[in-house]
């Protein structure tokens, strides 16, 4: 068990160093969501004047959750791309030949994605506080946001890893970038569900990303309430379970080739 | 003139021979058009919003996004030509530097026509009303000219970095210029410092010029402001691109 943890930690540290050495991995995670947050808040900031808009201190407070989930999903894709790069470069074959558990290879990568989620959470909470947002849930609320960001990144990371393992090519994993935006646009991540247009409104009621975004938003705009938090936990668990299953399937297929 | 045309034809051949390469340039603006309309569509309920149809309001952003990606793609292709040594061959050819630059940047205008047409067609299918053929023609011309301007900006980066890895900087940098305008709402409804950035961003006038197609209809004020902003950007980026080209071909210059 301890041996496995060491392998996961070592692989995770390697992936983290790799991410920080290549700015093209960090740029989509931090820079793009920050720019979109700026444009959304500056461009649609008066949305809080719409009568049906929820009671919030400011539009930035509302949008932070959207920026965080966007960043975590892009972390997941970046993690998948990095894994696909390892496969293309032959590093994965060396790991498979090494006397380590196969699952540690994927878990190590997902641990890195979770760390990227923490970085995203800390970044956006900090940006929010600097530019005048208020975390109504206080320090526990901010910590909950960061924990949710880490878990969300790891959960979606399973899908990125599965795709990388199954395809083994960077271009295929890169190709899912548009899907990230589709999932987010069809959720309440950027705007209240009751103000979305159809069919996004109906789809957002079932989209797990809506529950995750509301769970992250709740400690920021009100306080820590049981219902949105539990719904977010359930949604993250569901996404994580499906991602893990797909990753295991992808790993088996890769080992069989 | 002939050299410029041949370079433009070469760029168009790339699109014709690999039509699949045009798909991302159509997919991303379409996704933004439909996605942003679904998300921010109720912004039109705000008092002072200039139209009740948000898709009509945001369509110019998708059109400009198409132009931006086409312009940036020209820069990426130039960086590829530099990496592969093809551009060195053009340097030693009897082609003037002006013709070389013109061939590259005007090919962006031609390449932009396909995604612009696709995005406008999709918007019309989803119910956007075009304010007349003159406004449509003007919008297409403005967006195609903007693609050439973005190509100048991308050329500067390609000549500086000399690698395709500068692609995100070409695409994201130019697209942000488009987004930091009246992209989501009229100027009076923007907030904070973003409103001031949008007020003085010259790309805003081009966006408003293109918006004549789906919201305002053609009027002289929007048109001359768009043309003036385009001329300013074209001279600014064109001069820098030309300087970069001369320096790259003759390091002593």
- Burial category of A84 from C-beta neighbours within 10 Å (exposed 0-12, middle 13-18, buried 19 and up): buried
Please judge whether B42 and A197 are an interchain contact, meaning their C-beta atoms are less than 8 angstroms apart.
yes
Q: A42, B168: Cβ pair inside 8 Å?
A: no
From first CA to last CA, the distance across chain B in angstroms is 25
Going by C-alpha positions, the residue among A96, A234, A20, A39 that lies closest to residue B180 is A39
Give the distance from residue A98's alpha carbon to the nearest chain B alpha carbon, in angstroms. 33
CA distance A116 to A124: 12
Residue with the bigger pLDDT between A126 and B13: it is: A126
- Residues in B whose CB is inside 8 Å of some CB of A read 27-28, 31-32, 34-43, 45-46, 165, 168, 172, 176, 179-180, 183-185, 189-195, 197-198
- Strand, helix or coil for residue A104: helix
Tell me whether residues A42 and B195 touch, CB distance under 8 A.
yes
Q: CA B57 to CA A197: how far, in whole Å?
A: 15
Structure tokens at A43: 């461009």
Q: SS3 for A192?
A: coil
Q: pLDDT value at position B132?
A: 87
Cβ atoms of residues A118 and A151 within 8 Å? no
**Domain coordinates of chain A in residue numbers?**
2-256
Q: Which residue of B has its CA nearest to A197?
A: B38
pLDDT confidence tier of residue A124, bands split at 50, 70 and 90: very high
Over 80: is that where the pLDDT of A248 sits? yes
Structural domains counted in chain B:
1
Please choose, from the candidates B119, B117, B111, the residue with its C-alpha nearest in 3D space to the C-alpha of residue B154.
B111
User: Worst-scoring range by mean pLDDT, A93-97, A104-108, A111-115, B92-96?
Assistant: B92-96
From B185's Cα to the closest Cα of chain A, the distance in A is 6
Per-range mean pLDDT, top range of B8-22, B95-109, B132-146: B132-146
> What tokens appear for B182 in the block?
């009246």
Task: Give the model's pLDDT for residue B251.
Answer: 58
pLDDT score recorded for residue A133: 87
Angle between the N-to-C axes of helices A138-167 and A226-256, in degrees from 0 to 180, rounded to the nearest 10: 20
Residue B245: predicted pLDDT: 79
The full 3-state SS of B181-240, as one line of letters, equals: CCCCCCHHHCCHHHHHHHHHCHHHHHHHHHHHHHHHCCCHHHHHHHHHHHHHHHHHHHHH
- State the Cα–Cα distance between residues B156 and B243, nearest whole angstrom: 9
Of the two residues A98 and B21, the one the predictor is more confident about is A98
- For every residue of A165-217, DSSP letters joined together read HHH--HHHHHTTHHHHHHHHHTTTSSS-GGGSPTTHHHHHTT-HHHHHHHHHH
Query: In this predicted structure, what is the pLDDT of residue B19?
Result: 66
Q: Which residue has the higher pLDDT, A206 or B99?
A: A206
Centre a 10 Å sphere on the Cβ of residue B249 and count the other Cβ atoms it contains: 16
Give me the pLDDT at residue A24, please. Answer: 61
Residue B253 has pLDDT above 60, yes or no: no
The whole-number pLDDT of residue A150 equals 93
Range of the domain at B190: 2-249
pTM of the model: 0.83
Residues of A with CB under 8 A from a CB of B: 24, 27, 31-32, 35, 38-47, 49-51, 59, 178, 181-182, 185-186, 190-191, 195-197, 199-200
More confident call, A212 vs B18: A212
Digit-coded pLDDT (tens) for B188-229: 999 888 999 999 999 999 999 999 998 888 899 989 999 999
Residue A109, pLDDT above cutoff 90: no
Q: What is the ipTM of this complex?
A: 0.81
Mean pLDDT, chain A, rounded, equals 86
A178 vs B165: CB contact, 8 Å cut-off?
no
């Amino acid at each position: 068990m301890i041996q496995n943890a060491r392998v996961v930690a070592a692989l995770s540290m390697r992936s983290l160093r790799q991410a920080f050495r290549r700015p093209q991995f960090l740029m989509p995670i931090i820079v793009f969501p920050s720019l979109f947050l700026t444009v959304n808040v500056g461009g649609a900031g008066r949305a809080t004047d719409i009568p049906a808009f929820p009671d919030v201190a400011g539009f930035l407070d509302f949008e932070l959750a959207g920026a965080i989930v966007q960043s975590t999903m892009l972390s997941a894709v970046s993690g998948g791309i990095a894994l696909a790069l390892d496969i293309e470069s032959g590093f994965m074959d060396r790991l498979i030949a090494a006397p380590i558990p196969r699952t540690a290879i994927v878990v190590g990568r997902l641990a890195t994605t979770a760390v990227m989620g923490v970085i995203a959470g800390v970044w956006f909470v900090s940006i929010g506080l600097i530019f005048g947002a208020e975390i109504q849930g206080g320090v526990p609320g901010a910590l909950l946001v960061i924990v949710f960001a880490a878990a969300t990144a790891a959960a979606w990371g399973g899908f990125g890893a599965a795709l990388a393992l199954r395809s083994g090519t960077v271009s295929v994993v890169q190709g899912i970038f548009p899907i990230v935006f589709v999932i987010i646009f069809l959720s309440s991540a950027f705007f209240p569900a009751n103000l979305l247009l159809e069919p996004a409104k109906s789809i957002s009621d079932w989209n797990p990303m809506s529950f995750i975004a509301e769970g992250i938003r709740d400690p920021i705009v009100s306080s820590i309430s049981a219902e949105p938090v539990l719904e977010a936990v359930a949604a993250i668990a569901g996404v994580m379970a499906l991602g893990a299953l797909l990753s295991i399937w992808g790993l088996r297929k890769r080992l069989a080739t | 003139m002939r050299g410029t045309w041949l370079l433009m034809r070469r760029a168009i051949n790339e699109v014709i021979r690999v039509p699949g390469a045009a798909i991302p340039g159509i997919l991303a603006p379409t996704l933004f058009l439909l996605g942003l309309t679904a998300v921010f569509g109720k912004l039109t309920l705000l008092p002072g919003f200039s139209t009740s149809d948000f898709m009509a309001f945001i369509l110019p952003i998708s059109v400009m996004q198409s132009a931006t990606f086409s312009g940036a793609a020209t820069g990426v292709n130039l960086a590829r030509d530099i990496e592969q040594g093809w551009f060195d061959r053009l340097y030693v050819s009897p082609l003037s530097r002006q013709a070389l630059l013109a061939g590259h940047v005007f090919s962006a205008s031609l390449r932009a026509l396909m995604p612009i047409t696709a995005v406008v067609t999709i918007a019309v299918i989803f119910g956007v009303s075009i304010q007349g053929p003159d406004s449509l023609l003007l919008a297409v011309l403005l967006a195609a000219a903007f693609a050439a301007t973005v190509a100048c900006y991308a050329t500067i980066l390609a000549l500086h970095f000399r690698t395709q890895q500068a692609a995100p900087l070409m695409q994201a940098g130019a697209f942000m210029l488009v987004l930091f305008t009246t992209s989501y709402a009229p100027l009076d409804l923007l907030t904070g410092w973003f409103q001031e950035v949008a007020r003085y961003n010259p790309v805003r006038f081009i966006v408003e010029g293109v918006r004549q197609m789906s919201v305002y209809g053609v009027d002289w004020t929007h048109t001359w402001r768009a043309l003036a902003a385009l001329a300013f950007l074209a001279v600014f980026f064109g001069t820098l691109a030309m300087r970069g080209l001369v320096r790259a071909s003759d390091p002593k210059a």
